[in-house]
Amino acid sequence: MRPWLLLTAALLPGAAAAGHDVSLGVTAVTLTNGGVYNVTAPRLGLDASYAYELGAWRLGGGLRWAPAGRGNLPVEVYARALLSTQLGRWRPAVGPELGVSGLPIILPPEGGFPDDLSRQQAAQLGPAYVAVHAAPLRFAFRHFTVSALELQWGTTLNRPGSTLRLQFGLVHLGVSL
């Protein structure tokens, strides 16, 4: 057997158990910077995702569509790498997510604020973000997966910490291919 094949098998012990998973879910996203741009009402949307299961890792990405509310193009594209474990049917997962969002909404200032406040607020809300994604209530039933109450906490990349991003995955239903 070739040495590189043995090395690959040693480094990727779960490669033989790799699988594909697609899911569709309902999510709620809240973006805020604590200032004038302080939208506390979550935007409901749909989340379609793909994951390639490789041992304990779930590598993949997806697309979110949140049409409610004013603002830019209401779409997000993301990639994530989740570390998962298996305890019976329970399959919790946690890991980083990197994405590009069109969801930030700049509200026009009211009540004596400077005219350039919207431009200053827009500078804090870049489209790229990084977040920690956790799916503590994820379960597998044969070829199907169900996940509820997923949580995501993150910030924009252009000025980390200037914006808070919270997302709640209400429910996701998936199938393993």
Give the model confidence (pLDDT) of 82-133 as tens digits. Answer: 999 999 999 999 999 999 988 766 655 566 666 666 666 666 677 899 999 9
In tens, the pLDDT along 2-55 reads: 544 443 344 344 433 458 999 999 999 887 766 555 556 788 999 999 999 998
Give pTM, 2 decimals.
Answer: 0.80
Contact 16, 90 (CB under 8 A): no
Q: Which residues contact 5 (CB under 8 A, 6 or more apart)?
A: none
In tens, the pLDDT along 123-177 reads: 667 789 999 999 999 999 999 999 999 999 999 888 888 778 889 999 999 998 8
Q: How far apart, in whole angstroms, are the C-alpha atoms of residue 10 and residue 71? A: 49
Categorize the per-residue pLDDT at 78 as very low, low, confident or very high, splitting at 50, 70 and 90: very high
84 class by beta-carbon count within 10 Å (0-12 exposed, 13-18 middle, 19+ buried)? middle
Give the pLDDT of residue 32. Answer: 75
Give the pLDDT of residue 164. Answer: 83
Give the pLDDT of residue 9. Answer: 42
Domains in the chain (CATH in brackets) are 20-176 (2.40.160.20)
